Amino acid sequence: MATERQLFDKPMDILREAFVRNRFGESAVFERPDIETWLAGQREAGRPDDTMWGKLPNLDLCVICEGTSASGVLLTCATSVRTDVPLRSAYESLYACLHDGLYANADGPRIKVRISPSETFVFREESGTLIVERIGDHNRHVCVCAVTDVVFAEWNHHRPRWREAREFLCNALGGGIKRERAKAETDFNSAVAVSPDGTKIVHADWVMVSGIGTLGSAHHDEKVRQRYLVFRGDQFQTHKALRPQGEEAFAHCFTNGRDILGEGRTADTMTPQEVATIGQQVETRRKNIRRCFFVPSDFDHALFIDCRLPRGTMTRIYMTAASFCPTPLPDGGIEVTV
């Protein structure tokens, strides 16, 4: 019976948390790994950290996901503008005719929202021109952006409902953080390989393990045949391989599998033998390229292969050495010789 080998220095739950925080820090997500700690501080803050709130790329989406209507948010989290007070605007006389239901984002307002029982309008002043948009399904995002600005201004300027505004914005962002955490944890759990620090993962439909031996001999013109173990990707999800940390040891390749599978075939009909044949061809091509540039033959420790198949489908093959895999290997691997 094979002795169990420890691939990772840290428990998998610690690596998962490192992946989640790395996802939080991405520019398209929250741009800071400690977003949860930061938000906890904002829930108690008298005024918002406007520099950070202003660059959150997903804030409007978080507000949308709260599922509250524009009128509901403004009526509970914002203070309407008194139209009998000067608004320092070229369109002051027009705003004065609107009476109740007018909300502004700042003292020298650029954006105003007018709500009534049946409809909502957004007013924007740009370069001396007043732009008015009636909100419907086609431009709901315009209203979300405007309402978010108004509620943020309520908190930032300590208007009468600034605490309600703070609670709404923090809850909206908190909901977005929970959703992003759930997605990141799902991505980590479904990965077949993870880097030593947990920040990088690999998803694949197939895992192809090399380094388990050869058949044949290099003498007497006999072809040396490589032995591989081929697994379906889900067989490695609970027993993950170690993804090489350095990019010099990890290569992302693209190939065409149509010649091997033929027309009419799709990813769900592939056999382990076909997977191994595709992987071995890619590996051989890379070895030949390395020889041309005098790169050591063991340059790659792992290959991630995007393989285009007939009918526009794709499959992903992760090819790695046995030394980067758990011992014992997961059950279900099929030995293939190529």
Return per-residue pLDDT of the chain as tens, 338 residues.
455 668 899 999 999 999 999 999 999 999 999 999 999 999 999 999 988 998 888 788 788 777 778 888 888 999 988 655 666 677 777 777 776 688 888 755 567 788 777 788 888 888 778 888 888 888 888 888 888 989 999 999 999 999 999 999 999 999 999 999 999 999 999 999 999 999 999 999 999 998 765 544 444 445 667 889 999 999 999 999 999 887 667 888 888 877 777 666 777 788 999 899 888 888 888 777 655 544 444 445 788 999 888 777 889 999 999 989 998 899 999 999 88
> How far apart are the C-alpha atoms of 64 and 148, rounded to whole Å?
10
Q: What is the pLDDT of residue 210?
A: 87
pLDDT of residue 130: 86
Query: 3-state DSSP call for residue 133?
Result: strand
What pLDDT sits at residue 21?
98
CA geometry: angle at 219 spanning 216 and 220, to 5°?
Answer: 100
Rounded CA-CA distance 147/29 in Å is 21
Exposure pattern of 87-113 as b/e (b: 16+ CB <10 Å)? bebebeeebbeeeebbbbbeeebebbb
